Structure 1
């Protein structure tokens, strides 16, 4: 059989920042494998796979899976949320959003800072320190690819024409990543929605998100 014969199994989207920096978050290789499995099941519509199902896709035993899940919960990287389906039945789901929020925080505090130029008086350094360039770099980190010239122009338009604050754009990017929608179109829709709600500061956006989670 060839590669194309297995394409019907589908693909799993995983954030490149997690692959590159999971060890910096004190996540072990085994925990990363389990996170990948949780993502794979979730993206196929199974938000609360049994430990036995997770173990069957790894070299881990069900008991080891149970222990690793508990460790991720203790580290506040994973939560178990209660949900109600369309028929009113109550169930559970695994939620990895806390992990991605902590990853975002790590990238913002460490990766971007290491990339900032040190010669602040140099013209090139000033350009590199512009909000537009910093935002473009953040998008490239989260999307795991370089932005096209048109995409960079879109970011410039958000700043210079729409007058969105950089922190607002970063929050919209975070929402896109949490939704696994790696496109500027999705970010733009988020920004327009916040604009319709007259949200102008990051604090207002955070309050809005907390009310609507």
Structure 2
């Protein structure tokens, strides 16, 4: 089987923030591999893969996978939640929200720490939750790094010069991440393309995307 054949198995989207900072969340490499496997299965709509299925994709035994999942649960990084399907049948699913909540908190603390090292004017403290700062934080989470001052200025120009709706910028960021293109230039091309199609609201963009998938 050639590489091109394996490409049809699809791909798994992971946050660069998670890949960059998982050691700071007290996650070791073995536990991270299990998280990657859980994400892969979830993105294929299998939200409760068996330990045998997970082990089959790794170099770990079923016993080792069982122990690793238990460690992730004990660290409050994943939980097993009950779900009810459309037929009323009760089942289980792995919920990774606690993991991403901790990642959000970690990145937020890093942003605050970085800001504390810089002199801040009193008038600037009132805009911490401005659309610009919210977008910058979202980009940093997805890119897994801090943005440069020039990149912040480019996002500010999208808002203040091009007058893009913040919701549309977030949709463009999502499309870039799905394409594994982590650059503002790629996001800008997406925004320009939508502008050429006269798409001005997030609902118009979403309809456009559904038509062109």
Shorter chain as denominator, the TM-score bin is: 0.5 to 0.7
Alignment of 1:53-92 (within 5 A): 53-92=53-92
Query: Which residue matches 2:143?
Result: 144
**2 CA distance for matches of 1:156 and 1:103?**
30
Deviation at 1:78, TM superposition (A): 0.4
SS of corresponding position for 2:103: helix
Q: 1:51 to 1:155 in 2, by over 3 A?
A: farther
Give me the whole-angstrom Cα distance separating, in 1, the residues matched to 2:21 and 2:107: 9
Q: Which residue of 1 aligns with 2:133?
A: 134
Q: 1:161 to 1:23 in 2, by over 3 A?
A: closer
TM-score when normalising by structure 2: 0.64
Residue 130 of structure 1 and its aligned partner are, at CA, apart by: 8.5
Q: 2: CA distance between counterparts of 1:57 and 1:142?
A: 28
The question of whether the paired residues in 1 share the 8 Å contact of 2:41 and 2:49 is answered with yes
Partner residue in 2 for 1:204: none
- Provide Cα deviations, 1:55-112, integer angstroms capped at 9, x if missing partner: 1101111111111111111111100010111111111000001100110011001145
C-alpha distance 85-19 of structure 1, shift in aligned 2 (>3 A): same
Residue of structure 2 equivalent to 1:108: 108
Mapping for residues 1-213 of structure 1, pairs under 5 Å: 2-114=2-114, 118-120=118-120, 131-144=130-143, 152=156
Q: Which runs of 5+ in 2 are unaligned?
A: 180-186, 192-200, 204-213
Give the number of equivalent residue pairs.
170
- For the 8 Å contact 1:79–1:95, the answer to whether it is kept is yes
In structure 1, how many angstroms separate the alpha carbons of the residues matched to 2:129 and 2:50? 48
Which consecutive residues of structure 1, in runs of 5 or more, have no partner in the other structure?
191-213
Q: Is the 8 A contact 1:116 1:129 kept in 2?
A: no
Provide TM-score, normalisation by structure 1: 0.64
